[in-house]
Copies of this chain bind each other. A is one copy, B any other.
Amino acid sequence: MTADPALSDLTSVAEAIADRRLTSVRATEACLERIETWQPRTNAFLRIEAESALARARAMDAELAADRRRGPLHGVPLAHKDLYYRAGELSTAGSAIRRDWRAPSTATVLQRLDAAGTVELGFLNMAEFAAGPTGHNVHHGHCRNPWDTQRVTGGSSSGSGAAVAARLAFGSLGSDTGGSIRLPASACGVVGMKATYGRVSRAGVAARSWTLDHVGPLTRTVRDNARFLAAIAGVDARDATCSTAPVPDYEAALVEGASGLRVGLALPDALVPVDPRIGAAVEEAASVLSRAGVRISAATIPDFTELYRAAETIVKCEAASMHRPWMESQPDRYANQVRTRTEAGFFIPATQYIDALRLRAHFLREFLATAMPELDAVLLPAIPFPVPTIDETDVEKSGGPATLAMVARFTGLTRPFNTLGLPVLSVPCGFDDNGLPIGLQLVGRPFDETTLYRLGHAYQSATDHHLKAPA
């Protein structure tokens, strides 16, 4: 254990707690100390719950003292995006409308983390109702990138990316409807997993678009992430979309290495122009994987233009249906862009929505058959250009076509994989000329998160990008 346990990773801290080299209380205090320093800079937290976190840490230490260890996350301090419900507690979803709303029940994933013995440090900043890919929030203040507080964190799980990157928590739940786990993971230099649609329960999580919403963990390392996902994944009677497929032991599979796996590299310039510096970092990552025995080939990303339109239709219609009561009663409490995008959903015909759902099924079949027929994963960038500033992506202040187009490009490589429901692991793979992180995506076959973790772990075993922290 390093002098400051907060600088360690989730797995190391969990093992140190298990071995009594560290207490959960000390780990929690270390996080709270860093939060004190970093919260004013990043605005990562919406609510810091120091007292209850320490009480919980003491209880977890007491259990260990009585020789009861709940499992591989016992005593580990985490913090979550503020759309995971805890019964009777506030849950704002980053909005003004739900500023004082209290949740009626606890999210299944929080129940599972409770059972696993984790500590909750508080709840994290996010885009209003998860509708924004950058980290802006006009109600609660923007979240700022710990590597450069003038730059965006990525969103909508902005606080999740910032908190894990700044070493304020060992892991965090985010959620991803168009890139909202992978964008902050990439921009903040941490690992994010958007697992297969249906892999993780969404019961008790504020929805943006149930057809496209995915929940999942952000962590410092791939191993941490594998450990975290295993604790939350799997069938849930409260969520009918949740798969009954058994959950593998992701972490145990890491020892298998990545040798012999087949990865297709794609720099889909025709879809979204990829900045040369970003492209070079991802190509370099392919070389690293190749040296680890991975068979690298070229992959082709299809023209996703129609899929983008389908996704936009789906999210607008589903959000409009959910927001109708508030849209009617308190429209002025939304940010302008959030309101206008959601309102648009009221004017879309049902057949267009249904056609969009059918197109999605068609694209999934095509993608698996044509882009991935002989591949275990596709490797491509997460964000196709250097992390932009908060000002240049502020659609509320300057919502002109250029700003909107930049924000659309920002999500251009993440959105299609929500629509397809495929698992995607985002892993940091270097730094841009401004010193901001670059992230890669590994897209897998349905329910094959294991292969993505094996690839990501092989990559991190040979590189050190994930060891660097913002100062």
Question: Which residue numbers of A lie inside 8 Å of B, CB to CB?
Answer: 244, 313, 317-318, 320-321, 324, 345-355, 358
Contact = CB atoms under 8 A, between A and B. Distances in A.
Nearest to A198: B240
B349 A318 contact: no
A85 to B, nearest CB: 18
A351 B346 CA distance: 6
Contact of A358 (B320, B321, B345): B321
A364 to B, nearest CB: 10
**Of listed A244, A346, A350, residue having the most chain B CB within 10 A:** A350
Nearest to A324: B351
Nearest to A357: B321
Contact of A351 (B321, B351, B354, B355): B321
A317 B244 contact: no
A347 to B, nearest CB: 7
Q: Give the dominant DSSP class at A's interface.
A: helix
A358 B317 CA distance: 13
Nearest to A314: B350
A349 B351 contact: no
Contacts of A347: 349
Contacts of A317: 350-351, 354
A317 to B, nearest CB: 4
B321 A355 contact: yes
What 7 pairs between A and B have smallest CB-CB spacing? Answer: A350-B353, A317-B350, A321-B354, A348-B350, A321-B351, A350-B350, A244-B244
Contacts of A355: 321, 324
11 contacts: A244-B244, A317-B351, A317-B354, A320-B350, A321-B354, A321-B355, A321-B358, A345-B350, A346-B349, A350-B352, A353-B353
A324 B358 CA distance: 13
Nearest to A346: B351
Contacts of A313: 350
A382 to B, nearest CB: 28
Given A324-B355, A353-B354, 20 more contacts: A244-B244, A313-B350, A317-B350, A317-B354, A318-B354, A320-B351, A320-B354, A321-B350, A321-B351, A321-B354, A321-B355, A324-B351, A345-B350, A346-B351, A347-B349, A348-B349, A348-B351, A350-B352, A350-B353, A353-B353
Contacts of A353: 350, 353-354
A275 to B, nearest CB: 36
A226 B353 CA distance: 38
